[in-house]
Amino acid sequence: MSWSSSAKRVKPSDSSVCPPNSVVLFAGPCAVESEGQFAEVARCVSDLGLSWIRGGAFKPRTNPYSFRGLGEKGLAIMADAGNRFGLSTLTEVLCAEQCRLVASYAGGLQIGARNFQNFSLLEEAGRVCADTGKPVLFKRGFAGTIAEWLSACEYLKMAGASNIVLCERGIRTFETATRFTLDIAAVPVVHHQSDLPVCVDVSHPAGAQHLVPPLAKAALAAGADALMVEVHPHPASALSDGMQQLDLHQFETLVEELRVLAAALGKTII
């Protein structure tokens, strides 16, 4: 079943957040922790010639006693660093009420896995993106089928969002060797059924640093239009997801390797 008017893949237009023949890297820390921490990552991302930085200001945590983000202060830190280093910023909205606030600071909105069927959030995010022209990155729920994900995406479209990136981020299976099972097949399946660009978040399914580079290469080879990678100056002391975040040196090495692979595929990492 196709969720677009045509089952044929249509390349995203130039105005899309994912231009043709490019692979967008949404890199950055799991959470914005401080001005210094975020600026260190932003400098690295900018020096590598990349265009986007990610970071969580409102963090959806399984345990409410964990670090839940700096909130609006985190949004301000992201916006400042984005301006300073010439980067677009992507950050998560947890509820409908946050959409306008987040859009007033960030370059793009992220809807997280835990909210993929929060339809009132999707409608409001869609309206805010329609009003502001900002893109929205829409993650698959970890217990959601591809059909449910594409169906939920219609809420964003119906509300007027036109710059949507779908993001596979791993699903729950019986396998426990990885944090989530990365559904690589989701990339070609979605490309066959939708004209939207597909991002693969390789950090959250990995759950461990050493798994991030091979998953990133696999996603690129499968045709991903974008990748999400968590990067932290000192992963061992990160306030969330320390095990899976690459340090700056590991990230630089990965980008170099991805550039070689991307060139072979006729694509550029941006």
Residue closer to ligand PEP by CB (options 123, 201) is 201
Nearest distance in Å: CB 111, ligand PEP: 8
At a CB cut-off of 8 Å and minimum separation 6, what does 42 contact? Answer: 28, 53, 81, 82, 84, 85, 87
**Degrees, nearest 5: CA angle 225-270-48:** 140
30 is a contact residue toward Mn ion (CB under 5 A): yes
Q: Which is closer to Mn ion, CB of 195 or CB of 241?
A: 241
Residue numbers of the site for ligand PEP (CB under 6 A)?
A: 30, 56, 60, 92, 112-114, 139, 169, 201, 204
Interface with Mn ion includes 161 (CB under 5 A)?
no
- Find the part of the chain contacting Mn ion (CB under 5 A) among 24-32, 44-52, 76-84, 132-140: 24-32
Q: What residues between 233 and 262 interact with Mn ion by CB under 5 A?
A: 241
> Minimal distance in Å, beta carbon 174 to Mn ion?
23
* Range in contact with Mn ion (rule: CB under 5 A) among 22-30, 41-49, 112-120, 184-192: 22-30
Nearer residue to ligand PEP within complex by CB, 56 or 233: 56
Provide, rounded to whole angstroms, the least separation between the CB of residue 28 and ligand PEP.
Answer: 9
Q: Which residue is nearest to ligand PEP (CB)?
A: 112
> Given the rule CB under 5 A, which residues bind Mn ion?
30, 241
